[in-house]
Structure 1
Amino acid sequence: MGAEFRRKGVNVLLGPVVGPAWRIVKGGRNWEGFSADPYLAGSLVAQGVQGVQSQRVITSTKHYIANEQETNRVPEDDVAAVSSNVDDRTMHELYLWPFQDAVRAGSANIMCSYQRINNSYGCGNSKTLNGLLKTEIGFQGFVVSDWGAQHTGVHDALAGLDMGMPSAKGYWESLLVDAVKNGSVPESRVNDMATRIIAAWYQVHQDTDFPEPGVGMPSNLFVDHPKVEGRSPDANAILLQGAIEGHVLVKNERQTLPLRSPRKVSIFGYSANTPDFARPIEGDKFPAWQVGLAPVWGLPNQDQTPIGSRGTLWGAGGSGAITPATFTSPQTALVEKAAKDRFTLLQDLTSSSPVVDPTSDVCIVFGNAWATEGHDRPALQDDYTDNLINQVANQCSKTIVVLHNAGVRLVDGFVNHPNVTAIVFAHLPGAESGHALTSVLWGEANPSGKLTYTVAKQESDYGALLNPTPANGSKDPQSNFDEGIYTDYKQFEKNRVVPRYEFGFGLSYTRYDYSNIAINGPSGNWASEWPTGRVVSGGQEDLWEMIATVTFTLKNGGHADGAEAAQLYVRIPGSRAKQLRGFEKPFLAAGQGTQVSFALTRRDLSIWNTGAQKWQLQRGQYEIYVGRSSSKLPLKTYLTI
């Protein structure tokens, strides 16, 4: 991605996303980020930042901070934007955590968010910008507003905003000069803004041999401009592999998958073929986007369809949406596969009550779950798709369900049907959607994807975190984060609710055996409860000091080669739920075993002490778990500090 942006002359890539952090299950922008878990999101955002900036393009890690719903995200008429009311410990242990990883990885820009945080707008909140970001975790780069998220001049300048976008007209420009002259804004603050912006430019070496800014991506795409090819053939294999690993197999009974030389395959459902127009849902009112000017103020709260009924989803909606230059739909890839392997492919992609050929060896039903910026999702399932699946399953003894889902999609409307023998969450696979799917279905690739969120049995299992907080007639909407750090799988464990599919779950075509757990530690400066190091980019440097090492043996005990995402969880003293604190994904040939190692740092084992305003490494016994998902953890050991 970084290389493609650089070829187009783009200085700043507006991503990656770690806010929203998936607090609200129906959140319309959850799909843009990595995970509902802060440790996983932080680990992945760090790699994303390093990868993009290695190509000399600045990353704008966003949306800072506690930006957890689309409903009332911006002020409208006389109604203020919703206020995310977060306590200090939750802010540090959940919402700030992945941003801290991004800053440590060198993200040269942070984008502040639309909504309010503890009743102060995100781009004018001195506590979050000056206090947490620039002081506590040592951010050296510049803060840019989300498009139109600047609301004042002097106040926002003093609060830590460094750049207003798409412009600061009406707030800064000549008015900022006047503010310096009359003493409202110190000249040193303006110098700091400029220094941070220029430092970011130098940090990624845009001062040398960088294309003309915007050469292939002008501010207005409707004017003549050079046609610059940003793509590279070298990326094709990466696109395919990424799509494959994004497929998560959650059900596979009666040896349905992988497919073994079927003679007749029947496919059904609206999400199999390429959409017949650019926007994959009818009635979507999200306006066209011009690069450099996002018309966010034109996004009223409104009802939204739960599916993309006109075709498959390669991505979801909003400013992060793209249309691939080339695309292979599941239908196209299945036609190619049928021609190559010489089996009969029957299709009915439009009927809501299809008639199934009784001689079909297997049936595949395609559905999806749509999400977009500007709206929160109306539901986590839809009756049309559930009924379609059941209609086919009533007539076909081996029915495979493939869902292209932009977030959580409930399955209890059909999961227990005896003829629904396999379910695949294909998510948003991008350009190689079809080829990735056929690779997984026929076993050319062994599925290794794991869920980065929890799938409940019913919507009510998510409790207060299901829906966004509505204004309910108030001009001052408030969203209280009373659950603290207990979101997603931690919420389920705390409340003792059994999910349909837990966080970290995903099936394979082989079996992995876990054994021989051992722990080496504590080590390092564990004798001190508090970090003592100097503040560098990311916070106090000894937060990343290794305290203990956990090792175990992982063996592929089946007959297919594959990769397993092994996971480590820690129950910190006093906590009511385990937390992810490590993952590794080794590739193992059939019968092969390996030793896997996890390093636990001071930060991994600490809590935020609100009184001391520091990370505290508590004295006591820590429970360490290793396994294949958040609730399937066959190995356990202890660490005493």
Structure 2
Amino acid sequence: MFSTKIGLTLAFLSLYGLSHSKSLITSDTYFYGWSEPVYPSPNGTGSGDWAAAYNKATALVSQMTLEEKNNLTYGVTVTSNGCAGNIAAITRLNFPGLCLQGSGNGVHETDFVNSYPSGLHIGASWNKSLAHDSGWHMAGEFRKKGVQVALGPVVAPIGRTTTSGRIWEGSASDPYLSGAVAASTVQGMQGQGVISSVKHFVGYEQELYRNPTTNPDNETVESISSNIDDKTMHELYLWPFQDALKAGAGNIMCSYNRVNNSYACQNSKTLNGLLKTELGFNGFVVTDWGGQHSGVGAALAGLDMAMATGKSYWGNDFTKAIKNGSVPISRLDDMATRIIATWYRMGQDESSYPAPGVGITHNISMPHDIVNALTADAKPVLFDGAVEGHVLVKNLDNALPLQSPRLISVFGYDAVAPPQYIPNSKLFRDPWEIGLEPAVFQLAAAAEIASIIDEPYDYQVAFNGTLPVGGGSGASAGPYLSAPLDALQQRAYEDSSAVMWDTSSSPSMLGVMQASDACLVFINAFATEGVDRSGANDDYSDELVKKVASTCANTIVVIHNAGLRFVEQFVDNPNVTAIVFAHLPGQDSGRAIVSLLYGDSNFSGKLPYTVGKNESDYPAFFHDYAVKPYKLFPQSDFTEGMLIDYRHFDAYGITPRYEFGFGLSYTTFAFSDLKISPVKYGIAAYPSGAVEQGGAVDLWDSVATVTATVKNSGSKAGAEVAQLYVGIPGGPVKQLRGFDKVHIAAGKSTKVAFHLTRRDLSSWNVITQKWELQSGSYKIYVGSSSRDLPLITTMKIVTDSGS
């Protein structure tokens, strides 16, 4: 480590938007906390399918005055709509302005839109087609509401900090799965002409210290610095962003945190170097709301747009900076061109595109100004998405599906609908202070429970009703909410059976429990933006499960979890016959779980993270408090490198409770006939192709194809996720490098094929600063989870190292 004096010098430079040089560091023995300067900011090239949009944008920007160009780069406050961010119109040039609005699972803070399954729920589906279709339908609603930039999907946080409050917005604790889901979502969203804003770039892995704060001495404490080495940056944190860019993403949102001691929204290495040069990004970079910390420094480092407003750093002062030469006019021209080119590329200049913010109202004001964005064709996608993200992890003696039960009993605070549901109420403006959308009275209910169990409320549980979505700017609310108990009562009506319930804090229906065919216990694990979780289980919910299981011999636990949830306190209880990780299904939550419990639908979800047994199983379970010796400049050293989640479990021989990729079905599957196509011989070790958006074009060349046969060996139709892992020489034990979800009739078989690209098989070489395909033996594993891989072989690659 280097001295406190040097550390403070580096942090001082970061305050003023300057990346610092390695020459300042006298001893950098495996310390990550410096960010090399990369200047100037490269102009967008308009490469590939961006060419036509760039030609139009260049022509339009050339007609703009200095002030008009400047006005494109920062948000303005308006009273005409409720958009999260607005770019002013340039009326004389027929540019209508832009409306930017969250979120990644539905249009935020408005009415007559759907609440889609969250990112984590889609990740648990392992279904790229579903991710695409959810993105497409969701973006159709953004479009009807007059939104040009939809703030999603999320790929960071990726899950390095296990209890991060925003993990549920992303899809997986693995870069390959996260990137595949993000790419499909981007393609779906932008197929509707809506710009997708992929966020948060980069290393945003905790909520604590995500923004500057003031300490008791009235001193400013800067945001946490995510200190990441070059290899880990490329192979883990940058990976899913690259997939999204390859899919055509038009916008990248930079994050609140610092990266190697330079703020992410003014970090020249990550923005100018990685994003705009190495990955050839042609779109524009926007800050997270309030994430700008300098004017000239941010512009030179590659920031293109500031939200929600930029007047404090840009505004009139920015035109002065252009005029006095502090910022070259070419940088402003590039900022404006990138923004306008993205607008053109999505066809938003067409007259059919609604006016910015036309359907985003400030307050609910029925019925005269509602823009109804609901369509019947979205319903199957909403339901299928809700179903497929459920993961069955325990099913003792085929407790599920329920077989014509005469009586079921229901327990738990998570079974019922919240007492108030008003999607566009003023109560939704600051959800991280209120607790949860749409259950807006969470804190009051939590205080009541806390008084009962004599413990303070710690943001682990949403006690006030079922949890369809997490809290914060990523939350959404649909036209209705199907709660589990409501759907179970409907099923009882249809089956002429009985359902009884006690969702009080201390259920006492002992006789009913004993007489029930099944006892369903609904609990949850809550998470919200702005607050990291204090753990991954709560004693109150665990005691509730154990109390029911002490009397009911067939206790089925359903957990709506916004992230990892431990089950150690009840998993081995023989009366707990089934456990479901239900994640965050959106508005069709109740209908989906009932369809699964009764066997109308089959479980097909797989865990997109590893469920361990103890906090110590994870390299970074809690957020980082590392503020000493830099008390005003918090540091988080990512010393575990690439070894997060299952990679960490593999490296240290830790046995998980449920591994990454695991999930049960009502049928069984068998794998056989593993084959590898002839591998290209003498392929160049390094890519040499032209750089287009997404990186060097030959990174995506196919090197080999792996095939296998999957058979449904059970008696029910079902879907299996065939997973391929690769052991790259010198890397983690294995890394996910392919998956395919296939629906197979009982007794039938199908062939799956995985096309491995140069990028899939390469490692980042920190010396050459290129992806390197090594000569050597690569282990190939195929199966149903990261620990159930019955098919194993070795693939030999020979490269031309002189290329």
TM superposition score normalised by structure 1 = 0.95
Give secondary structure in 2 for the equivalent of 1:608. strand
What's the secondary structure of 1:565's corresponding residue?
Answer: strand
What is the aligned partner in structure 1 of residue 484 from structure 2? 330
1:319 is aligned to 473
Q: Using the TM superposition, give the Cα deviation of residue 576 of structure 1 relative to its aligned residue in structure 2, in angstroms.
A: 3.5
Larger fraction in helix: 2
User: Among 625, 633, 643, which residue is 1:470 paired with?
Assistant: 625
Select which of 148, 161, 173 maps to 1:36: 173
- The answer for the alignment partner of 2:228 in structure 1 is 86
What is the deviation of 1:285?
7.1
Q: Quick check: 1:479 aligned with 2:633?
A: no
Give how far 1:277 is off. Answer: 3.2
Aligned to 1:577: 733
AA aligned opposite 1:94: L
Instruction: Name the structure 1 match of 2:710.
Output: 554
Q: How big is the shift at 1:352?
A: 2.4
1:203-260 CA-partner distances (Å, limit 9, x unpaired): 1000102011110015x44789831001111111111100000110000011201111
1:145 aligns to 2:287 (yes or no): yes
Asked whether the 8 Å contact 1:526–1:547 carries over to 2, the reply is no
> Where do residues 168-183 of structure 1 align in structure 2 (5 Å cutoff)?
168-183=310-325
Number of aligned residues: 624
Is the partner of 2:393 in helix, strand or coil? strand
Write the letter of the residue equivalent to 2:397. Answer: R
Q: Give the one of 100, 125, 134 matched to 2:276.
A: 134
Q: 1-side partners of 2:682 and 2:725: how far apart?
A: 20
Query: 4+ residue stretches of structure 1 with deviation over 3 A?
Result: 220-225, 277-281
Q: 1:303: how far off?
A: 7.5
Q: Answer whether contact 1:560 1:590 (CA < 8 A) is retained.
A: yes
Structure 2 counterpart of 1:352? 506
2:431/2:473 contact within 8 Å kept: no
Partner of residue 239, structure 1 = 382
Shift of residue 76, structure 1, vs aligned partner? 1.0
Amino acid at match of 1:308: A
Write the deviation string for residues 89-119 of structure 1: whole angstroms up to 9, x where unpaired: 0000000000001111111000000010000
SS in structure 2 of the partner of residue 249 of structure 1: strand
Q: Call closer, same or farther: CA 1:264–1:417 in 2, change over 3 Å.
A: same
User: How many Å separate the matches in 1 of 2:431 and 2:598?
Assistant: 39
Q: Does 1:609 align with 2:755?
A: no
Aligned pairs for 1:227-626 (under 5 A) are 227-277=370-420, 286-287=432-433, 304-356=458-510, 357=512, 358-462=514-618, 464-472=619-627, 474-523=631-680, 527-626=683-782
Q: Is 2:344 aligned against 1:202?
A: yes
Q: Quote the Cα distance in structure 2 between the aligned partners of 1:62 and 1:472.
A: 26
- In the alignment, which residue of structure 1 is the partner of 2:105? none
Unpaired runs of 5+ in structure 2?
Answer: 1-137, 215-219, 436-455, 798-803
Task: Give the whole-Å Cα distance in 1 for the aligned partners of 2:666 and 2:698.
Answer: 42
- CA shift, 1:325, in A, is 1.6
Corresponding residue for 1:115?
Answer: 257
Letter in structure 2 aligned against 1:465: A
Distance 1:551 1:456 in 2: 31
CA distance in 2, matches of 1:142, 1:403: 39
Q: Compute the displacement of 1:421 (Å).
A: 0.5
> Normalization by structure 2: what TM-score?
0.76
Contact 1:352 1:384 (8 Å CA) reproduced: no
Match of 1:74 in 2: 211
AA partner of residue 508 (structure 2): P
CA distance in 1, matches of 2:267, 2:239: 18
C-alpha spacing 1:124/1:90, structure 2 compared with 1 (3 Å): same
Which residue is equivalent to 1:297?
A: none
Which residue of structure 1 aligns with residue 448 of structure 2? none
* Whole-Å separation in 1 of the counterparts to 2:668 and 2:431: 46
Residue pair 2:268, 2:302 contacting (<8 A) in 1 also: yes
1:9 and 2:146 equivalent?
A: yes
Classify the secondary structure of the residue corresponding to 1:157: helix
Q: Partners in 2 of 1:519 and 1:70 — Cα distance?
A: 44
Give the conservation status (yes or no) of the 8 Å contact 1:304–1:375.
no
Give 1:294's aligned residue.
none
The answer (yes or no) to whether the contact 2:224–2:635 under 8 Å persists in 1 is yes
Give the CA deviation at 1:351. 3.5
Match of 1:53 among 166, 172, 190: 190
Q: Which residue of 1 aligns with 2:438?
A: none
1:288/1:140 CA distance change after superposition, 3 Å: farther
Deviation at 1:527, TM superposition (A): 2.2
- 2:73 — aligned with what? none
Identical pairs, percent: 54
Instruction: Decide which of 2, 15, 22 is 2:159's aligned counterpart.
Output: 22
* Structure 1: tracts of 5 or more residues without a match: 290-301
The answer as to whether partners of 1:49 and 1:105 remain within 8 angstroms in 2 is yes
Post-superposition Cα deviations, 1:62-110, rounded to whole Å, max 9, x if no partner, equal 0000000000000112101000000000000000000001111111000
Rounded to whole Å, the distance in 2 between the matches of 1:278 and 1:76 is: 33
User: Are the equivalent residues in 1 in contact too, given 2:778–2:795 (CA < 8 A)?
Assistant: yes
**CA offsets per residue over residues 539-577 of structure 1, 9 Å max, x none?**
000000000000111000100001101100000012232
CA apart distance, 1:319 = 0.5
Query: Could you tell me how far apart the structure 2 residues matched to 1:429 and 1:288 are?
Result: 21
